[in-house]
């Protein structure tokens, strides 16, 4: 018996479907990898924005407290998440200088000037707390606690909050 070999053999429907499944799985894996890279990039950008804002706000508050003559207790709100710090400076036009939180933004108001927001539009301040510590024969010390977050995050797993804690002493006793 002689066997006939069929040379006109093509691909079958099952083989074509199998190839499409393999290509589809590879594309799905590649898309997930690309999305994860974009998410990490956005998280990094958010973290950088948060840290830059915290650095700016803290430097502004710390440098002002260090140059202050005294703390105005009557206009300050201590030990509250909606804290307010009123400072008396040697320069009369900047007295009192106020730091406070309103609608998620941190403001500074120097003397009779209008209040100026010192955080960016993309950052929200959840809390700003001042605590005053006084000891005999030492300058007053202010402890500052704040919590910041990124505004308008579209993807919930990209939400980030960052706490801030520092203390600073007035320059005079």
- 71 and 83 Cβ atoms separated by less than 8 Å: no
**Per-residue confidence band for 128, with pLDDT thresholds at 50, 70 and 90:** very high
**Per-residue confidence band for 25, with pLDDT thresholds at 50, 70 and 90:** very high
For the ranges 14-23, 30-39, 150-159, the lowest mean pLDDT is seen at: 150-159
Q: What mean pLDDT is predicted for residues 68-73?
A: 87
For the ranges 1-5, 10-14, 165-169, the lowest mean pLDDT is seen at: 1-5
- Please indicate, yes or no, if residue 52 is contained in any of the structural domains: yes
Q: State residue 154's pLDDT score.
A: 64
- Please indicate, yes or no, if residue 123 is contained in any of the structural domains: yes
Q: Say yes or no to pLDDT of 1 above 60.
A: no
- 89 and 18 Cβ atoms separated by less than 8 Å: no
- Please indicate, yes or no, if residue 137 is contained in any of the structural domains: yes
- Please indicate, yes or no, if residue 77 is contained in any of the structural domains: yes
- Which residues have CB under 8 Å from 119's CB, separation 6+? 53, 56, 57, 105, 106, 125, 148
Q: State residue 11's pLDDT score.
A: 76
- Please indicate, yes or no, if residue 47 is contained in any of the structural domains: yes
Q: What mean pLDDT is predicted for residues 36-63?
A: 85
Containing domain of residue 76, as a range? 13-169
Residue bearing the bigger pLDDT, 6 or 97? 97
Q: State residue 157's pLDDT score.
A: 63
Q: State residue 30's pLDDT score.
A: 94
What's the structural domain count of the chain? 1
Q: What is the mean pLDDT of the chain?
A: 85
- Please indicate, yes or no, if residue 2 is contained in any of the structural domains: no
- Please indicate, yes or no, if residue 8 is contained in any of the structural domains: no
- Please indicate, yes or no, if residue 3 is contained in any of the structural domains: no
Q: Say yes or no to pLDDT of 173 above 60.
A: no
Q: DSSP string spanning the chain? A: --PPP-------HHHHHHHHHHHHHHHHHHHHHHHHHHHHHHHHHHHHHHHHHHHHHHHHHHHHHHHEEEE-GGG-B-SSTB-EEEEEESSGGG-SEEEEEETTEEEEEETTSPPEE-S-TTEEEEEEEEEEE--TTS--EEEEEEEEEES--SSGGG--EEEEEEEEE-S--
Q: Say yes or no to pLDDT of 93 above 60.
A: yes
Residue bearing the bigger pLDDT, 73 or 25? 25
Q: What mean pLDDT is predicted for residues 82-95?
A: 88
């Amino acid at each position: 018996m002689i066997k006939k070999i069929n040379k006109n053999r093509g691909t079958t429907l099952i083989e074509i479907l199998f190839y499409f499944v393999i290509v589809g799985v590879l594309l799905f894996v590649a898309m997930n990898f690309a999305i994860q890279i974009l998410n990490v990039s956005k998280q990094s950008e958010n973290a950088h924005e948060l840290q830059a804002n915290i650095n700016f706000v803290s430097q502004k508050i710390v440098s002002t407290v260090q140059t202050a003559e005294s703390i105005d207790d009557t206009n300050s709100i201590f030990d509250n998440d909606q804290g307010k710090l009123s400072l008396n400076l040697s320069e009369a036009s900047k007295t009192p200088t106020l730091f406070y939180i309103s609608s998620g933004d941190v403001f500074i108001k120097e003397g009779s000037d209008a209040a100026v927001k010192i955080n960016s539009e993309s950052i929200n301040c959840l809390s700003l707390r001042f605590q005053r510590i006084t000891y005999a024969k030492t300058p007053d010390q202010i402890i500052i606690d704040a919590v910041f977050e990124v505004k308008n995050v579209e993807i919930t797993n990209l939400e980030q909050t960052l706490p801030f804690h520092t203390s600073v002493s007035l320059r005079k006793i």
